[in-house]
Amino acid sequence: MKIAFRLDPEIAEQTGVHVESVWGADTSAPDTYRLCSIPFLVTGVSLGDEVRAERSDDRLWFSRKVKDAGNSTVAIWTEDAELVETVRDELRRIGCESELWRQRMVSANVPAHVSIGDVWEVLNKYSEDRLTYWERSISAVHEEE
């Protein structure tokens, strides 16, 4: 099932997208779902987090995060199609899976056991004028690094 998230107004204005839907799976707690895909534009949640959602207008709408999985999410944008695959390959090598949106935006999941410093090292190699990246959700584990 999909969980709908209303996007931050600034992100909505920049992208023209006002709602993002993220795949979720039931948990044993009522109205609580584990996120099963990597968010692109949503802030504050990551793959594996557990969230509460309420049904309205035939959709499940996010209401709050109830459990942090320890993962972080980083969004990456570039106009360079070849760089997209290079960056995804490098992130995969250090243990981060990613998803592609609109052929130019990558959303990367940084598992708790992967150093966020290694991710910044990969991204900073290309950040001068070839890509831009944002911290969408940084877990407590990665904040402590």
Bridge-based pairing state of the strands 59-67 and 2-6: parallel
- Tokens found for residue 54: 């309420």
Look up residue 59 and give its amino acid. R
d(CA 67, CA 125): 33
Ordered by start, the domain boundaries in the chain are 2-67, 72-143
Tokens of 66: 């109830």
Q: What is the DSSP letter of 130?
A: T
CATH architecture of 72-143: 2-Layer Sandwich (3.30)
Q: What is the pLDDT of residues 90-107, one digit of tens each?
A: 999 999 999 998 878 899
- Over the stretch 32-82, which tens digit does the pLDDT of each residue have? 999 999 999 999 999 999 999 999 989 999 999 999 999 999 999 988 888
pLDDT at 128 over 80: no
